[in-house]
């Protein structure tokens, strides 16, 4: 089992846990037998859910009754103790017992507990929260999505390197185009930090990515840029706007096709195209944000996703480890 990726799983985080977590593990195993799951949580609940569904060669359960609540502040989560399922899962990565950790639990708590347990990669000051976004040509990596409200030009350069390394881990045969999210494409647009970052990246010689200058919000989905870099405030606003727009479009389409006989007939006639459209905008396909900058990878699954979304996050975990993300960042930083 030398090619097996060992994934530490916090089974108690997020809505509908631990059932959706275990269902996600079982679903992922049906698609990919390269993952081993070290599962942290209530052993009695987990065993009932996983029994007869997954071969014991592919999982181990570490029992704890304690877990981080969704209502906990990051400080409360840290004080809750070192026996929570989230803390123990992260600690297993710290001890090199597993290769990567995933949780659908409290985002702020996960970041704080990860930073308490794991070291930063040398020469990186701040970790960033990154995620995959769909575009017309495939996928983009976008960061930071909320971990750092204020960033220096060095932080943004680091994010560019980390984001490109993540993209190359997931798509090893491609060299990404990297751009800074800004209010215009002209070189003089933006605040002083953005302009300074532009200058630093323009002068930087690297085989890790091609610097493509600035990108505006309305160009994110075009697919000409693969890695989009911003501070956490701007990135989080962009993320929430994109999510809200996607939900608005799908909800409005549902209304159109349900409100009249003609609409229902159109839905039947366009069933295949509508399913393709629905699949393209399905947030479960892009589930799984990644904290990068720490010396071990930490993945955050959306707390409200279902078992399909969690399974997709586990697939991302496998690709990150297989793509040797941490060493790619070290080599390029």
List of domains in the chain: 1-123+293-333 (3.40.718.10), 125-292 (3.40.718.10)
What number of helices (H) and strands (E) belong to the chain? 12, 11
Give the global pTM.
Answer: 0.86
The pLDDT tens digits of the residues spanning 36-46 come to: 999 999 999 99
Can you give the pLDDT of all 333 residues of the chain as single tens digits? Answer: 458 999 999 999 989 999 999 999 999 999 989 999 999 999 999 999 998 899 999 999 999 999 999 888 888 888 888 999 999 999 999 999 999 999 999 988 999 999 999 999 999 999 999 988 888 888 899 999 988 899 999 999 999 999 999 999 989 889 999 999 999 887 778 889 999 999 999 998 888 899 999 999 989 989 999 999 999 999 989 888 887 887 787 777 778 777 778 767 776 767 666 667 666 666 677 777 899 999 999 999 988 889 999 999 999 999 899 988 998 888 887
C-alpha 146/C-alpha 208 separation (Å) is 24
């Amino acid at each position: 089992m030398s090619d097996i990726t060992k994934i530490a799983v916090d089974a108690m985080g997020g809505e509908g846990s631990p059932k959706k977590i275990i269902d996600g593990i079982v679903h992922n195993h049906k698609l990919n037998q390269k993952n081993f799951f070290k599962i942290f949580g209530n052993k009695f609940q987990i065993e009932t859910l996983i029994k007869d569904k997954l071969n014991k060669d592919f999982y181990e359960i570490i029992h704890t009754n304690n877990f981080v609540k969704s209502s906990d502040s990051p400080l409360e989560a840290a004080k809750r103790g070192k026996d929570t399922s989230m803390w123990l899962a992260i600690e297993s990565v710290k001890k090199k017992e597993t290769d990567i950790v995933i949780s659908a639990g409290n985002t702020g708590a996960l970041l704080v507990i990860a930073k308490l347990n794991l070291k930063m990669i040398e020469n990186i000051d701040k970790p960033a929260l990154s995620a995959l976004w769909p575009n017309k040509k495939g996928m983009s990596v976008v960061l930071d999505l909320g971990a750092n409200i204020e960033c220096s030009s060095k932080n943004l350069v680091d994010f560019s390197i980390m984001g490109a390394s993540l993209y190359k881990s997931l798509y090893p045969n491609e060299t990404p185009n990297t751009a800074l999210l800004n209010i215009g494409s002209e070189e003089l647009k933006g605040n002083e930090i953005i302009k300074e970052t532009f200058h630093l990246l323009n002068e930087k010689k690297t085989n890790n990515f091609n610097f493509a200058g600035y990108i505006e919000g309305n160009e994110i989905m075009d697919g000409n840029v693969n890695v989009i870099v911003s501070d956490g405030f701007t990135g989080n606003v962009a993320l929430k706007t994109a999510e809200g727009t996607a939900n608005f479009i799908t909800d409005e389409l549902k209304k159109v096709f349900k409100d009249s006989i003609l609409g229902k007939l159109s839905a039947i006639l366009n069933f295949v195209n509508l399913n393709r459209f629905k699949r393209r905008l399905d947030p479960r396909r892009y589930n799984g944000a990644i904290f990068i900058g720490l010396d071990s990878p930490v993945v955050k699954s959306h707390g409200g996703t279902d078992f399909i979304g969690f399974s997709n996050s586990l697939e991302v975990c496998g690709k990150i480890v297989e793509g040797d993300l941490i060493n790619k960042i070290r080599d390029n930083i």
